Structure 1
């Protein structure tokens, strides 16, 4: 059932969350499957060292393209609240400025990435035998990043309009084309890792074409030329909230640098391959929880903008409950089937021996992460940038990076893996404290409990 922006403030919260979260989850699933299958094809048809190359390159490209995601999420919060307050002109100007900001920033950073490609790859851990395949994969991918950035930005605006099914399709499109072209370029044309990069680049462009089609023919946001003019108060508001998402991705990229260097120092290329598999599973296995978080954002943002605080409170409560159940099921599957999962990626016996235990430790605290994800998302949806930034950065920035820097000195590679559940627990406690305080002091027009 398609939902109009106005219905975000009237429909039953449970039905509305399912309506928004299921398509978002399916979209994230396909996006995750895309990365997962890409890694499987590369590992099985090219070799395990190619997985290490992907592990080095993808944090760089996602860092640059996350500009689009950040502007999409931050601007989506502004846009949702503007629609909730019935300020349509502000919503349109917000969208126009998002397009211009994404395009200009993405192109600038792509040029920087191309100019400093060798130094950047070395910084992210392309040591030893990893450098050559990493550079071969990097160049086609980095050139296609502006299209990915525009897709990420546009996808958040599609969701802010309440058109979750179209947002889902936007994430399915690149997954479909990437898998098809992976088979053609890697298996049949024998283009190796360059073929994998070319397939990914084409898939980003196909996603961009779909998003462009949506905004021309299906969107409620009919832009005029003047909406693309820079509106500095709106840019400031978008930037303030976008910093939350971009900072998170920036911290994730810093974390990737630290982990890759630590793993190489303690275990060489094989240790980076192990982390490559784990990082893909982190993207894939948590798709339903991330889908609920994405579905929650426009509901909370619209109702907060409309002053419907009881609905905001209810949406927080329901989202945490649903996400916690799904996160627990995910943990059980990972714990039971860790070894069969690893054998899908590679035939390397050393990697198969080392990865299952590491995978279980990394996912050990996943049943409690719903509070952290939904809590941080609430503050972003409400436009409370400082708390959103604090809580979004808490896991990777305040806890995980220091732990990864310290524990391996005493515990070796195991110190890297045990850092993940410790960081999950600490960041959840911190988010739970702020969220409960917020619910009790600002959103008290309801009898529903929260934590």
Structure 2
């Protein structure tokens, strides 16, 4: 089976399955990867260690913001270039994503190392959690280039139709992290710092795998420096198309900082609880995000090839899949909400807050996939502005003021419903905006 058959002529349901299933598995692997640190640190029975890892979540989210910008933007540009048979643009894109990821990662590492104390106190650290958060942050900092590039590379690989290879790369990092976490955290008694070391090693090995793929196996891509350029609209196209995904992650980091600052006033237990809930709820969110991201190359290819009918069929079928998956996953989490929180830590205060928070976060669970598909549709057509607006609203302009308002009016009980309320507004807006865009495309 060649690339043209998969992208351009294979039955839509079969093509979506072939592209989406490895992507979903990769997303779930990412969830397990993110859960691993919190889970194994939680086994120490120390809520302060869990709170320290929770406080450093914004750092990892910011790294993912750039990974998603380069990865999603690069994947969209590369898949459109493939549809247009522009081989040079494909190579320029993969090389740009590689070196841009490494450059930004190095800058991140320097900023984290030299400004660690003010950064962590801004994130909500206090005298009880600072030293533990500092250890975690230091070991993540030097892994930043590998964390960004390995995540971005997985998107680029999928643009070539190699979803299985993208999944393998993700699994390498996750398996290594899971194996090394108990060794460093409990075996060597390093706590939160040990979790960060395991994370960094996992990403280094995943990066080595992707480097091998690009150099030895890929038919279309290249990481040769001679193809690295920012001109000819490579930088502008990749970053503008990937910006909605990046701003989504970046603002998620900002909103997480705001949320931690609000919650720490109620004690360290709610901070530890929200860290666990954030990781647990990723299962529902990333399951649907994996579906949406998996089919993005299909959409970009068919839009670039001018096959609008197939583009719309992929859009419709993917949304149906997201809805079914979202309902089933949310129902599962609702019925097992207490055992899920208890799985991470055996502390009655953290479990009490965690169960309440998990129920609140699940309210938008069945439908959040519709938002991701709509945003990817807009990005695949090269129209990044509406998707950017939705991202800014969902994680910034709407969520952050709402968190302060709910805290002032309803206290802690109000704060925990902020994300779900914002998600519902963003979903409805995305349906309206993409509906108008679709009508415009059909008329053209």
TM-score of the alignment, normalized to the shorter chain, above 0.5:
yes
- The answer to whether the Cα contact below 8 Å between 2:364 and 2:424 also exists between their aligned partners in 1 is yes
Deviates more, 1:191-200 or 1:338-347: 191-200
2:68 matched residue in structure 1: 69
RMSD: 1.6
How many Å separate the matches in 2 of 1:8 and 1:89?
A: 20
- The answer to whether the Cα contact below 8 Å between 1:65 and 1:145 also exists between their aligned partners in 2 is no
2:259 matched residue in structure 1: 259
How many Å separate the matches in 2 of 1:330 and 1:64?
A: 27
2:234 matched residue in structure 1: 234
How many Å separate the matches in 2 of 1:263 and 1:316?
A: 39
Matches within 5 A, 1:86-105: 86-105=85-104
Over residues 396-418 of structure 1, what are the superposed CA-to-partner deviations in whole Å (9 max), with x where a residue is unaligned?
Answer: 12322221121111111111112
Q: 1:144 to 1:225 in 2, by over 3 A?
A: closer
- The answer to whether the Cα contact below 8 Å between 2:252 and 2:395 also exists between their aligned partners in 1 is yes
TM superposition shift of 1:80: 0.7
How many Å separate the matches in 2 of 1:324 and 1:146?
A: 35
Deviates more, 1:196-205 or 1:184-193: 184-193
TM superposition shift of 1:6: 5.6
How many Å separate the matches in 2 of 1:393 and 1:309?
A: 28
Matched, 1:172 2:171: yes
Over residues 47-83 of structure 1, what are the superposed CA-to-partner deviations in whole Å (9 max), with x where a residue is unaligned?
Answer: 2211111111131133034313211111211111010
How many Å separate the matches in 2 of 1:291 and 1:391?
A: 19
Over residues 69-124 of structure 1, what are the superposed CA-to-partner deviations in whole Å (9 max), with x where a residue is unaligned?
Answer: 21111121111101001111111112222222222122112211211111111111
How many Å separate the matches in 2 of 1:296 and 1:109?
A: 30
How many Å separate the matches in 2 of 1:35 and 1:156?
A: 18
Deviates more, 1:233-242 or 1:373-382: 233-242
TM superposition shift of 1:282: 2.0
- The answer to whether the Cα contact below 8 Å between 1:3 and 1:162 also exists between their aligned partners in 2 is no
Structure 2 unaligned blocks of 5 or more = none
- The answer to whether the Cα contact below 8 Å between 1:297 and 1:381 also exists between their aligned partners in 2 is yes
TM superposition shift of 1:225: 4.4
Structure 1 unaligned blocks of 5 or more = 446-451
2:59 matched residue in structure 1: 60
**TM-score between the two structures when normalised by the length of structure 2:** 0.96
TM superposition shift of 1:280: 0.4
Deviates more, 1:436-445 or 1:278-287: 436-445
Matches within 5 A, 1:26-65: 26-45=25-44, 47-65=46-64
Over residues 197-220 of structure 1, what are the superposed CA-to-partner deviations in whole Å (9 max), with x where a residue is unaligned?
Answer: 211111111111111111112112
Over residues 148-176 of structure 1, what are the superposed CA-to-partner deviations in whole Å (9 max), with x where a residue is unaligned?
Answer: 11111211110111100111111111110
How many Å separate the matches in 2 of 1:313 and 1:393?
A: 26
Aligned length: 443
1:308 matched residue in structure 2: 307
Matches within 5 A, 1:189-200: 189-200=188-199
How many Å separate the matches in 2 of 1:225 and 1:401?
A: 41
How many Å separate the matches in 2 of 1:3 and 1:52?
A: 49
How many Å separate the matches in 2 of 1:356 and 1:410?
A: 22
- The answer to whether the Cα contact below 8 Å between 2:49 and 2:191 also exists between their aligned partners in 1 is no
